[in-house]
Structure 1
Amino acid sequence: MTYDYELILIGQTEGENEIGDPISTDSEVIIFCGIKSVGRNEFYSAATAGLKPEIVFIIHAYEYDGQQTVIFENNRYAVIRTYAISTEEMELTCSGLVNGVM
């Protein structure tokens, strides 16, 4: 698999503001990925569960830290499933987000 595309992983960092209130901020990690189509079986199985997978990203497993949102070509996606292909590679099956909502 070639990693020809740029993908931004969006994670949440918990912390406190200047007066001590808990806050959550986005943290971005830019990585490279490969792209794969969603298979028919996976698409229809997900549809019965009310999900709409649109794209699969192939990434290095060590770069993923449980992020649930990614940005690819200025589009936001929610990670709906992860799958370890091997000890080195992982698939992120994603669904599109519009204004932060699936």
Structure 2
Amino acid sequence: MYSDVIELVGVVNLGEDDLGQEIEKEVPRQVFCDRKCIPQNEFFQAGISGIKAAHMFEVSTLDYQDETKVRYNDKIYYVYRVYEKANERVELYCEVKARG
């Protein structure tokens, strides 16, 4: 049973503009999840790689479609690691990126 909701943010390619640049649109989808703490060893390993680990969300394997952004509590997080579990669930390890 899931206890929380996130938005997985996918991207749809709408074609090209007059200059030949791709036009993309973000498409968010709400899915149920369990938010869990980042394990201590994961937090430190991510930090060594320059990643600021923030949250781990567990979602159904059927709900995850290779999205790289997650919106949670009106904040955007980026998926830096995906771990597929045996129980038809996927762990999404998410980071905060500095603006700029």
**TM-based fold match above 0.5:** yes
Helix, strand or coil at the partner of 1:41: helix
- Report how many residues are paired: 99
CA RMSD of aligned residues (A): 1.9
Task: Give the corresponding residue for 2:27.
Answer: 27
Instruction: Output the CA distance in 2 between the equivalents of 1:29 and 1:38.
Output: 23
Which residue number in structure 2 is paired with residue 74 of structure 1? 74
Q: Please say if residues 52 and 97 of structure 2, whose CA atoms lie closer than 8 Å, have aligned partners that are also in contact.
A: no
Structure 1: runs of 5 or more not aligned: none
In 2 relative to 1, CA 94–16 (structure 1 residues): closer, same or farther, beyond 3 Å?
same
SS in 1 for 2:2: coil
Quick check: 38-47 or 78-87, which moved more?
78-87
Tell me which moved more, 78-87 or 90-99.
90-99
CA drift at 1:97: 3.9
Aligned residue type for 2:2: Y
Q: Give the TM-score, by structure 2 length.
A: 0.88
Q: Are residues 1:96 and 2:96 paired?
A: yes
Q: Please name the residue that 2:57 is paired with.
A: 57
Q: Aligned pair in 2 of structure 1 residues 55, 18: CA closer, same or farther (>3 Å)?
A: closer
